[in-house]
Structure 1
Amino acid sequence: MSTIVETVSNDIIQALKNDQLTLPSLPEVALQVRDIAEQEDSTVAQLTQVISRDAALSARIIRVVNSPLLRAAQDVKGLPMAVSRLGINYTSNLAIGLAMEQMFQATSEMIEKRMRSLWQLTGQISSWASVIAAHTKLMPTDEAMLAGLIHRIGALPILTYAEERDDLIQDNITLGKIIDRLHGPLGTAILEKWEFSEGLAAVPKLYRKTDREILEPDCAGLITIANLVANKDQTTGWGSIDWQKVPMFKTFQLPMDRDAELWDELAEKVQAHKVGI
């Protein structure tokens, strides 16, 4: 590993240990949505009122409800009907996930480009996770969607750190190596700070462990499979991994064959679902 990768990685790790690393805060609307969802006596009307203050978020939730994955016989035209159809928990997870997009912004053009690319990537994995969850019926689709959107959240503080260093902004390869090395533990630290559930908080640090053996389906395992399937036609990175050595396919009752017809069928649903995310 190059000296600069080692030095910067150690600096970031040390800053995290000393509480000197600025971790991103969950957007205000996401906090409000979660607070309402966690109250036992919360109502659809209360949740609708909070979400309706953000017109863009409201429109996207309606779009997701009308996507092929969730569409019912009658199209949803308003937020109250969308929240009623989804339910409080599903709407909460969806709103939290979608609200996080506003965090993927930077002042540097180069870092901004990386953040946009990162959000698009997590959106793709989120769509795959949602579609796979809907197919297997082994996990809630809203939890799968949220797991996909947060699995690389640990890259955000690294990119924010890089904005202060011209050498990193101009060196995509080095920056990429630092992100690969640190985004897992940083992501879990962020999600623990946000008080996410243990299963969701563990996703960033576990999803790249493709040989992990689990008895029951979990969020991290689903995101592992989503990354593998999304990149099954590639020859490097996720695409170079031997599916026969990934025991989680059996846990999720999914074929280990890259050429199985199921993946083409689900890919069509993913393309339609990405319109909402």
Structure 2
Amino acid sequence: MTELKKQISASLRKDLEAGELILPSLPEVAMKIQEEVKKKSSTAHSIAKVIMLDPGLTAHFLKVANSPLYRTQNSVQGLPEAIGLIGINSVLNMALTYTMRTMFVNTEGPWKKVLIHQWNEATELAAIVAVLADYLPNFNSDHMMVAAMLQNIGALPLINHLQHFPGLEQEEVETLVEENATKAGLALVKLWGLGKSFEDVIKARHDWMYESTPELDTTDLITIARYHYMKDKQRLEDCPPTSEIAAFRHLEELDFTAEMSMQWIDSAREKIRAIKRMLCM
């Protein structure tokens, strides 16, 4: 570890603990959607009026509505129709996927490659967890996808901060992001007011023993997805055995096994690839 990295690491920890790291605000259109969805009087048409303020977001909703997640016999052409298909309760989740993608894509600087890696990992996690949710009761695929992508959201403010230190090596930047992504992500999710369930997901990032509830929940399913992601990348040496991971224990309490979850993913490889294409850069 270089002396510069040591100094920056200490400074980052201090800023995070003091709440002084500069965090990006939730974009205005996402805030307006958040407000509209909360209204008891909201409809597909009233929400569509807000979404249409952003042409890119409008295109994203139509793309999602025609994706493998919601594919119907006929192509969805209109925004109110897309919102009706996706569901009003899922609109904010879909807006967040677009918001995160835009923020990752639009960040420039010497460490953009690190950010792209974080986003690509997040989209693969999201695709895997969406498939897992199909096999289990009481799980909403789009909510699960957003939660999975939020696990890496802390990379955004960290990369923005580290752009000011061109003397760092890329490997050092990657390490600093991994070391601080949980705290930065938690601060960002709190700032955006996304709620405790998403906060728990951030806390569980790379914490294989984390338990937010005594039964299988969103956090567990994303932990299981991350295990399968690591398996696909041949990085299981960084993971404990499934018998030691709380999430898999909760899965077994529903009479499912780790081996079954592997079979679900293997049988849905094409869908995983399709969802990744929908989400990635």
TM-score of the two chains, using structure 1 as the length reference: 0.90
Aligned residues between the structures: 274
Task: Give 1:208's aligned residue.
Answer: 206
Q: Displacement, 1:117?
A: 2.5
Task: Give 2:89's aligned residue.
Answer: 89
Task: Call closer, same or farther: CA 1:130–1:261 in 2, change over 3 Å.
Answer: closer
User: CA separation in 1, counterparts of 2:163 and 2:260?
Assistant: 39
Task: Between 189-198 and 234-243, report the one with greater CA deviation.
Answer: 234-243
What whole-Å deviation, never above 9, does each CA across 1:145-193 have from its counterpart, x for those lacking one?
Answer: 110221111111111111111112xx11111111111100110111011
Task: Give 2:258's aligned residue.
Answer: 256
Q: Displacement, 1:80?
A: 1.2
Task: Between 137-146 and 79-88, report the one with greater CA deviation.
Answer: 137-146
1:270 to 237, 249, 272: 272
Task: Give 1:70's aligned residue.
Answer: 70
User: Are 2:138 and 1:138 equivalent residues in the alignment?
Assistant: yes
Tell me, yes or no, if the aligned pair for 1:97 and 1:150 is still in contact at 8 Å.
no
Task: Call closer, same or farther: CA 1:244–1:266 in 2, change over 3 Å.
Answer: farther
Aligned pairs for 1:6-45 within 5 A: 6-45=6-45
Aligned pairs for 1:179-218 within 5 A: 179-213=177-211, 214-218=213-217
Aligned pairs for 1:118-133 within 5 A: 118-133=118-133
Tell me, yes or no, if the aligned pair for 2:227 and 2:239 is still in contact at 8 Å.
no
Task: Give 2:235's aligned residue.
Answer: 236
User: CA separation in 1, counterparts of 2:86 and 2:232?
Assistant: 34
User: CA separation in 2, counterparts of 1:156 and 1:15?
Assistant: 15
Tell me, yes or no, if the aligned pair for 1:132 and 1:266 is still in contact at 8 Å.
no
Residue aligned with 2:139, SS: coil
User: CA separation in 2, counterparts of 1:31 and 1:21?
Assistant: 21
Q: Displacement, 1:247?
A: 2.9
Q: Displacement, 1:259?
A: 9.0
Residue aligned with 1:223, SS: helix
Tell me, yes or no, if the aligned pair for 2:151 and 2:185 is still in contact at 8 Å.
yes
TM-score of the two chains, using structure 2 as the length reference: 0.88
Give the letter aligned to residue 217 of structure 1: L
What whole-Å deviation, never above 9, does each CA across 1:103-131 have from its counterpart, x for those lacking one?
Answer: 123331x3222222322221111111222
Task: Call closer, same or farther: CA 1:113–1:221 in 2, change over 3 Å.
Answer: same
User: CA separation in 2, counterparts of 1:238 and 1:125?
Assistant: 18
Task: Give 2:219's aligned residue.
Answer: 220
User: CA separation in 1, counterparts of 2:228 and 2:259?
Assistant: 10
Q: Displacement, 1:2?
A: 5.6
What whole-Å deviation, never above 9, does each CA across 1:196-233 have from its counterpart, x for those lacking one?
Answer: 11010221221322123442233222221111112313
Task: Call closer, same or farther: CA 1:94–1:21 in 2, change over 3 Å.
Answer: same
Residue aligned with 1:257, SS: helix
Once superposed, which parts of structure 1, at least 4 consecutive aligned residues long, lie more than 3 Å away? Answer: 1-6, 237-241
Tell me, yes or no, if the aligned pair for 2:201 and 2:218 is still in contact at 8 Å.
yes
Tell me, yes or no, if the aligned pair for 2:36 and 2:42 is still in contact at 8 Å.
yes
Residue aligned with 2:277, SS: coil
User: What is the percent sequence identity of the aligned residues?
Assistant: 26
User: CA separation in 1, counterparts of 2:192 and 2:261?
Assistant: 39
Task: Give 2:108's aligned residue.
Answer: 107
Which structure 2 segments of 5+ residues have no match?
A: none
Residue aligned with 1:165, SS: coil
Tell me, yes or no, if the aligned pair for 2:132 and 2:265 is still in contact at 8 Å.
no
